[in-house]
Amino acid sequence: MADKVLVVDDDSKILAMMRRGLIFAGYEVDLAETGEQALDKTLGELPDLVIIDVMLPGIDGLEVCRRLRAAEPRLPILLLTARDRVPDRVAGLDAGADDYLVKPFAFDELLARIRALLRRAGDEHQEALVFADLRLNSTTHEVVRGERPIDLTLTEYQLLEYFMRHPRQVLSRDRIHDAVWGDSFFPESNVIDVHIKRLREKLESEGEPRLIQTIRGVGYSLRQPSD
């Protein structure tokens, strides 16, 4: 069965082009021209992946992303935008996007980003991973610290899983980039630091010790403060 992709853009020419290209690539495609339509269609019948243009009439793409992420933490979301400044990319990632593609883009690159996100979403392992009071069930994608369940986005989950498969190892940014993002982002971007900041905020409630430690000048490591 083909993966279903929802494309959200207010430009009818772009929607038509995306629809043709994605159908030709083997995907089932649904379209929306506004943020309201995107929310209705996504929450009515969940697609496998959503592509959202940031500049939408009414509810903009960032707000659509936030609402979808709150409702569906595991849903892969790819943002499209003509804005290529670092603060714009950070805003998209903070809104909950898993990936960010700047217009104009090569369609082959878009397909590669889609394949990477769907592959990461479907890449499940069968064992539970445990570190200190943190537990990750790689079959159900549930994450618990102590008795507290933690909701993560797809990318946050993949990042935490990578750390938990390499406990106490010092992981460089390049190594993390290659394992979690592949070719989706250039290593020099601050996407890794942004996601680790967001992951820490979710993992560390009041009184809980930090588990993802910064190793200055090198990278990061999953370890207890006493290690």
Q: Is 1.10.357.10 the CATH classification of the domain at 128-222?
A: no
Task: Starting at the earlier edge strand, list the strands of the sheet with 134-137.
Answer: 128-131, 134-137, 142-145, 148-150
Domain 4-122: assigned CATH number: 3.40.50.2300
Q: Structure tokens of 60?
A: 């903009």
Q: Where are the domains of the chain?
A: 4-122, 128-222
pLDDT at 170: 92
Beta strand 219-222 pairing with 212-215: antiparallel
Mean pLDDT (10-residue bins), the chain, 227 residues: 89 92 92 94 90 92 92 90 81 88 89 88 66 86 90 90 91 87 64 90 87 92 86
Q: Is the pTM of this model over 0.75?
A: no
Residue 115's identity, in one-letter code, is R
How many Å apart are CA 214 and CA 113, to the nearest integer?
A: 28
Query: What is the DSSP secondary structure assignment for residue 132, as one 8-state letter?
Result: T
